[in-house]
């Protein structure tokens, strides 16, 4: 085997290592957001956001990892520790506030941060409908936010007055002070208040689904109407200027809202937002953190944005738009897995320094393994860039893994269908694959079942289906684009085989042209090569990452084989 094989469970194990190592037991399971791996020595430091969005997203992350790996290592203790965190620090109007640490400063609640807390509460309630504390906090948060919005009822214009036909809700500010409420002299400084305040949209719809909470649905509808109308945030094509993470997360919420209300404008807007962001990125899943904010060549890719794009794909697929399976598959096995830190040889750990004053130093070369970057360039993770590892992305990356894991194999119309390609074993089936080396996917069933494979354009037309080693004539589900066999019995082995060759492709994005080398849905090389941690080095015959910069010198140009853009010689 020459090429590195995509393995979702290995990514899950790695990020669990990071979450376990970067959770501070001395502060009762407080995560570290701020990490500076390029400093000598490397360090991590507590900051205000640790006790804000991170406790929510890391709870969801650990729960997703338990769904993939089972309860292993410290996963159950981490889940319970983050649960305690999420259920603490509540105040007036049902809002969750920061705790008073030395690094906290102003004690406040941010509506953007509630977009991370409400999904965590939803997950607690879904996991345990008898969790009365989580239910109380979820219900209180929804009602508290609803009580704080401005409801726009009448449009007053030079031509006269007219009543608004639909609910329109907006928040007066993006921050609510624990001592002072809405102080309009204070703001987060992030800008884009309308979109950043609305990232709880998906969670509000989910709250309605879980608890039949009509207040949550009302708030979701009013927020959506404001965003798509009076806010003027999106143009007529639903393009925008600003924060991709917030906009695409909202897009997923709009599509979910369509599924619950059947109001077509929400689906149209959500899909258009997704497609707009998709047009700014690449075919392998790199998307910019901001739309039209920086020069394209200065943009970088935040893992949070990849999670949102995957969530959007899932929502669109649930609307019957099966064409988005290919996007989900490419995002997963390319940019999402490449955005994970799988090499920490550059990290200088000083175990003689004591952990104190909210900082930690010990064993960071080991503890940082498995984190996710908040700022990858298309071909590399730069160590000198701020957020080369980001706590927010360490939460959302595993959430994306959980979405993918649930969709690897699904059952529809009585057909067990392989959608995404990673090794997975359950009581019902065992799935393996040999990509990108070989076009071969194998499904062994453990019960009588119809089963088959989703067929993608990159598989070509020469694919064949085998049952227990013998070629068979497949049945075809045109709606799902699935080739399948019926009346499989326990132990039957179904194989999909197709030719696999390397395809070279040119693509222009992020301000320049790149040359891509594809094998099926896996990109195995990307030119030009980048620095410091080079991405898409999937050939196992060559080193995957840069040596430490001080260990190498560059002596000219070379072809695309070695990992450097020059011949490497040791000093």
| Domain endpoint, select from 497, 519, 541 | 497
CA–CA dist 126, 115 (Å, integer)? 17
Nearest to 500 by CA among 1, 15, 50, 31: 1
Are 507 and 560 within one domain?
A: yes
pLDDT, tens digit, for every residue of 361-407?
A: 999 999 999 999 998 999 998 776 667 899 999 999 999 999 999 99
Is 314 inside a domain boundary?
no
* Secondary structure (3-state) at 413: coil
- Residue 159: the pLDDT is 86
Are 533 and 470 within one domain?
A: no
Is 449 inside a domain boundary?
yes
Task: Report residue 417 as tokens.
Answer: 């269908």
| Domain endpoint, select from 462, 480, 497 | 497
Is 145 inside a domain boundary?
no
Is 253 inside a domain boundary?
no
Is 544 inside a domain boundary?
yes
Is 473 inside a domain boundary?
yes
Q: How confident is the model at residue 1 (pLDDT cuts 50, 70, 90)?
A: low
Range of the domain at 455: 410-497
| Domain endpoint, select from 442, 477, 497 | 497
Are 484 and 516 within one domain?
A: no
Are 507 and 492 within one domain?
A: no
pLDDT, tens digit, for every residue of 203-234?
A: 999 999 999 999 999 999 999 999 999 999 99
Mean per-residue pLDDT for 6-30? 96
Are 544 and 474 within one domain?
A: no
Are 476 and 508 within one domain?
A: no
Are 451 and 478 within one domain?
A: yes
160, β-bridge pairs: 157
Average pLDDT, the chain: 92
243 contact partners, CB below 8 Å, separation of at least 6: 190, 192, 195, 196, 289, 290
Are 415 and 491 within one domain?
A: yes
- The backbone torsions φ and ψ at residue 95, rounded to the nearest 5 degrees and listed phi first, read -90, 150
Nearest to 291 by CA among 303, 306, 276: 276
- Residue 550: the pLDDT is 38
pTM here is: 0.93
CATH number at residue 436: 2.60.40.1180
Sign of the alpha-carbon dihedral angle for 36, 305, 338, 65? positive
More confident residue, 541 or 313: 313
Is 485 inside a domain boundary?
yes
Is 373 inside a domain boundary?
no
- Based on the structure, what is the number of domains in the chain? 2
């Amino acid at each position: 085997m020459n090429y590195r094989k995509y393995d979702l469970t290995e990514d899950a194990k790695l990020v669990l290592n990071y979450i376990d190592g970067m959770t501070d037991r001395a502060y009762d399971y407080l995560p570290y957001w701020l990490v500076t791996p390029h400093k000598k020595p490397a360090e991590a430091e507590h900051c205000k956001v640790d006790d804000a969005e991170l406790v929510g997203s890391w709870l969801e992350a650990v729960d997703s990892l338990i769904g993939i790996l089972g309860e292993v290592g410290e996963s159950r203790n981490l889940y319970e520790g983050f649960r305690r965190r999420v259920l603490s620090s509540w105040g007036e109007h049902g809002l969750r506030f920061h705790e008073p640490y030395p690094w906290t400063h102003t004690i406040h609640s941010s509506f953007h941060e509630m977009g991370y807390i409400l999904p965590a509460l939803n997950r607690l309630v879904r996991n345990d409908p008898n969790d009365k504390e989580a239910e109380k906090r979820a219900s209180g948060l929804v009602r508290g936010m609803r009580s704080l919005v401005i409801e726009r009822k009448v449009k007053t214009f030079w031509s006269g007055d007219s009543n608004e036909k639909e609910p329109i809700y907006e928040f007066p500010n993006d921050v609510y002070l624990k001592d002072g409420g809405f102080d309009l002299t204070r703001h987060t400084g992030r800008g884009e208040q309308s979109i950043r305040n609305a990232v709880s949209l998906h969670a509000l719809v989910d709250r309605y689904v879980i608890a039949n909470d009509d207040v949550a649905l009302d708030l979701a509808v009013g927020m959506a109407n404001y965003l798509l109308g009076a806010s003027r945030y999106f143009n007529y094509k639903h393009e925008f200027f600003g924060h991709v993470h917030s906009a695409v997360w909202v897009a997923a919420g709009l599509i979910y809202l369509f599924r619950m209300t059947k109001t077509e404008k929400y689906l149209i807007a959500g899909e258009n937002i997704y497609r707009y962001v998709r047009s700014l990125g690449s075919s392998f899943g790199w998307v910019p953190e901001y739309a039209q904010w920086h020069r394209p060549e200065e943009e970088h890719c935040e893992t949070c944005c990849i999670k949102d794009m995957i969530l959007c794909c899932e929502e669109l697929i649930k609307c019957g738009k099966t064409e988005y399976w290919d996007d989900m598959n490419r995002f997963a096995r390319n940019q999402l897995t490449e955005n994970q830190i799988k090499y920490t040889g550059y990290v200088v750990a000083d175990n003689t320094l004591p952990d104190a004053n909210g900082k930690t130093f010990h064993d960071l070369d080991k503890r940082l393994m498995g984190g996710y970057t908040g700022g990858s360039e298309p071909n590399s993770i730069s160590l000198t860039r701020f957020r080369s590892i980001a706590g927010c992305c360490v939460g959302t990356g595993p959430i994306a893994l959980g979405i993918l894991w649930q969709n690897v194999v699904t059952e529809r119309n009585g057909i067990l269908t392989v959608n995404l390609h990673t090794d997975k074993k359950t009581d019902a089936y065992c799935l393996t694959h040999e990509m990108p080396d070989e076009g071969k996917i194998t499904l062994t069933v453990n019960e009588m079942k119809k089963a088959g494979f989703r067929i993608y354009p990159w598989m070509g037309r020469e694919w064949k289906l085998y049952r227990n080693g013998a070629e068979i004539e497949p049945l075809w589900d045109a709606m799902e684009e699935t080739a399948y066999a019926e009346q499989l019995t326990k132990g039957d082995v179904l194989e999909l085989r197709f030719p696999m060759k390397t395809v070279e492709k040119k693509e222009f994005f992020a301000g320049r042209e790149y040359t891509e080398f594809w094998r099926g849905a896996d990109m195995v090389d990307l030119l030009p090569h980048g620095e410091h941690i080079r991405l898409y080095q999937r050939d196992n015959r060559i080193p995957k990452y840069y040596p430490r910069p001080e260990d190498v010198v560059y002596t000219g140009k070379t072809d695309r084989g070695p990992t450097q853009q020059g011949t490497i010689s040791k000093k």
